[in-house]
């Protein structure tokens, strides 16, 4: 399992992914899930992956070589696509083809082949776009009313995003909220863990603004963890007890 977040706000885009892979309690390792797939003078396209490593590796290798698209019969690459939407179609086709091929090979072995991708990028200075691509190759696009998409182990970190994130959130604040979401997830699920990879794109600039890795000794992330835990405890303590809760001491005195 893994955890990946894509956030799309007015100021730009944040993509974040952990690196933990888990093939059993005695086979845990790190593997990069966030990749810059194309970075040229007028474009940057990147993705984060969750699910079967064999499927996602095969799909991304196909993308690097070029994908024959059914609607044109032509081989296309991310260096040539005119829009991020077309990039999502290309990557979705590659993911669907890779999944189908591997399933044909291992059909009698009960091998897990499910995989999902977050694809994000900007071309020609246009606003960044963010897509969630499913194993069948279909996808959905992130919209301003819910300005984030998640894949992998999503349930523990989603409440943080739901409560704190809007389309008007500044990009630096969005990055902080995403890290709090990771903190909440890692607190409850050992299948998600450091290091965490981060990449950002600023609206109007089809280039990477930031590419960064948070390691286990990162001072800011350690402080964020501690402050968030303390803030939650303080907030819970500040809320009055429910009036209908039993009060044993009062009952004894009466």
Question: What CATH number has the domain bearing residue 31?
Answer: 3.60.20.10
Whole-number pLDDT of residue 108 = 75
Whole-number pLDDT of residue 107 = 83
Nearest CA among 225, 133, 141, 231 for reference residue 181: 225
Look at residue 164 and tell me whether its pLDDT is greater than 90.
yes
Look at residue 42 and tell me whether its pLDDT is greater than 50.
yes
Q: How confident is the model at residue 216 (pLDDT cuts 50, 70, 90)?
A: very high
Q: Is residue 250 part of a domain?
A: no
Q: Is residue 99 part of a domain?
A: yes
- Write out the chain in H/E/C secondary structure: CCEEEEEEECCEEEEEEECEEECCCCCEEECCCEEEEEEECCEEEEEEEEECHHHHHHHHHHHHHCEECCCCCCEECCCCCCCHHHHHHHHHHHHHHHHHHHHHHCCCCCCCCCEEEEEEEEECCCCCEEEEECCCCCEEECECCECEEEEECCCCCHHHHHHHCCCCCCHHHHHHHHHHHHHHHHHHCCCCCCCEEEEEEECCCCCEEEEEEECCCCHHHHHHHHHHHHHHHHHHHHCCCCCCCCCHHHHHHC
Whole-number pLDDT of residue 159 = 97
Q: Is residue 182 part of a domain?
A: yes
Whole-number pLDDT of residue 22 = 67
Q: Is residue 254 part of a domain?
A: no
Q: Is residue 249 part of a domain?
A: no
Whole-number pLDDT of residue 30 = 80
Look at residue 247 and tell me whether its pLDDT is greater than 80.
no
Look at residue 240 and tell me whether its pLDDT is greater than 90.
yes
Q: Is residue 56 part of a domain?
A: yes
* Domains of the chain: total: 1
Give the pLDDT mean for 64-92.
98
Give the pLDDT mean for 64-81.
97
Q: Which long-range contacts (CB under 8 A, 24 or more apart) does 18-24 make?
A: 18/152, 18/182, 18/186, 18/192, 18/193, 18/194, 18/195, 18/196, 18/197, 19/193, 19/194, 19/195, 19/196, 19/197, 20/191, 20/192, 20/193, 20/194, 21/53, 22/191
Q: Is residue 64 part of a domain?
A: yes
Q: How confident is the model at residue 179 (pLDDT cuts 50, 70, 90)?
A: very high
Look at residue 169 and tell me whether its pLDDT is greater than 50.
yes
Could you give the percent of the chain with pLDDT greater than 90?
Answer: 87
Q: How confident is the model at residue 8 (pLDDT cuts 50, 70, 90)?
A: very high
Cα–Cα distance for residue pair 35/88, rounded to 1 Å:
15
Question: What is the number of other CB atoms lying within 10 angstroms of the CB of residue 75?
Answer: 12
Whole-number pLDDT of residue 101 = 96
Look at residue 27 and tell me whether its pLDDT is greater than 60.
no
Whole-number pLDDT of residue 252 = 47
Q: Is residue 251 part of a domain?
A: no
Nearest CA among 138, 109, 121 for reference residue 14: 121
- Residues 163, 168, 170, 175: is their CA dihedral positive or negative? positive
Q: Which residues span the domain enclosing 106?
A: 3-240
Q: How confident is the model at residue 155 (pLDDT cuts 50, 70, 90)?
A: very high
Which comes out higher in pLDDT, residue 29 or 111?
111
Look at residue 153 and tell me whether its pLDDT is greater than 50.
yes
């Amino acid at each position: 399992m893994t955890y990946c977040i894509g956030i799309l706000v007015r100021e730009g885009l944040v993509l974040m992914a952990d690196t933990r892979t888990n093939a059993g309690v005695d086979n845990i390792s790190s593997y990069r899930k966030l990749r810059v797939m194309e970075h040229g003078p007028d474009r940057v396209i990147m993705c984060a992956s969750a699910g079967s490593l064999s499927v996602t590796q095969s799909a991304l290798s196909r993308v690097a070589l070029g994908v024959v698209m059914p609607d044109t019969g032509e081989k296309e690459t991310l260096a040539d696509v005119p829009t991020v939407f077309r990039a999502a179609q290309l990557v979705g086709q590659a993911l669907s083809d890779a999944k189908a091929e591997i399933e044909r090979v291992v059909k009698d072995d009960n091998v897990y082949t499910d995989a999902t991708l977050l694809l994000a990028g900007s071309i020609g200075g246009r606003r960044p776009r963010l897509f969630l691509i499913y194993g069948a190759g279909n996808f959905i696009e992130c919209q301003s009313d819910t300005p984030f998409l998640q894949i992998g182990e999503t349930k523990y970190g989603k409440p943080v995003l739901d409560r704190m994130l809007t389309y008007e959130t500044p990009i630096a604040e969005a990055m902080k909220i995403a890290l709090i979401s990771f903190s909440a997830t890692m607190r409850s699920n050992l299948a998600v863990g450091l290091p965490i990879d981060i990449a950002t794109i600023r609206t109007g600039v089809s280039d990477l603004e930031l590419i960064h890795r948070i390691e286990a000794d990162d001072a800011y992330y350690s402080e964020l963890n501690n402050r968030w835990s303390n803030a939650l405890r303080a907030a819970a303590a500040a809320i009055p007890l429910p009036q209908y809760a039993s009060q044993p001491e009062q009952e004894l005195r009466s």
